[in-house]
């Protein structure tokens, strides 16, 4: 619990600093632009490529995780089909317009928040004793 609080405090200060930089110098670009302007051009370049590499690896890990989760429900389906299907969904979400992406984000977030609320309610009802576990 202490480590979560420490990391949360670090993230808070980091995001506050990024917000201050964005308010002081609004630029069209990512946060790597601030590293390029305030530290060194090579630092911004490396920061941008590291960020790209982070997301390239994250997408691959997410596709493998989706394959593992779906193989639990559908064990006879080859895993590469699930990876290809979810990669297609990710591609289509990034290919559509910003408005369409925002709409998809809205609905996915609504599903996620609704699921969390339902799980909390079911957990409380199980603690009370209405649902027997």
Residues 68-108: pLDDT tens digits? Answer: 999 999 999 999 999 999 999 889 888 888 888 888 899 99
Which structural domain range is residue 72 located in?
A: 2-76
Alpha carbon distances (Å) from 91 to 7, 85, 97, 101: 32, 10, 12, 11
| pLDDT for the residue numbered 133 | 64
Residue 128 included in any domain: no
Give percent above pLDDT 70 in the chain. 99
In a domain, 33, yes or no: yes
The pLDDT, as a whole number, for residue 95 is 87
Is residue 21 assigned to a domain?
yes
Q: Is residue 116 part of a domain?
A: no
- At 83 the pLDDT is 94
Query: How many domains does the chain contain in total?
Result: 1
pLDDT, tens digit, 9 for 90 and up, residues 31-44: 888 888 888 999 98
- Entry pTM: 0.64
What ranges make up the beta strands (E) of the chain? Answer: none
Q: Give the other-Cβ count within 10 Å of 91's Cβ.
A: 10
| Rounded mean pLDDT, 50-70 | 94
Task: Answer with the residue of higher pLDDT: 56 or 27.
Answer: 56
């Amino acid at each position: 619990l202490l480590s979560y609080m420490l990391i949360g405090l670090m993230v808070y200060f980091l995001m506050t600093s990024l917000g201050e930089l964005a308010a002081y110098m609004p630029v069209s670009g990512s946060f790597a632009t601030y590293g390029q302007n305030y530290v060194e051009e090579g630092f911004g370049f490396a920061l941008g490529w590291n960020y790209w590499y982070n997301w390239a690896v994250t997408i691959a890990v997410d596709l493998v995780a989706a394959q593992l989760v779906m193989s639990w429900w559908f064990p006879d389906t080859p895993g590469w089909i699930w990876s290809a299907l979810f990669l297609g969904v990710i591609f289509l979400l990034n290919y559509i317009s910003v408005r369409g992406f925002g709409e998809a984000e809205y609905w996915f977030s609504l599903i996620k928040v609704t699921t969390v609320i339902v799980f909390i309610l079911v957990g409380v009802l199980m603690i009370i004793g209405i649902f027997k576990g």
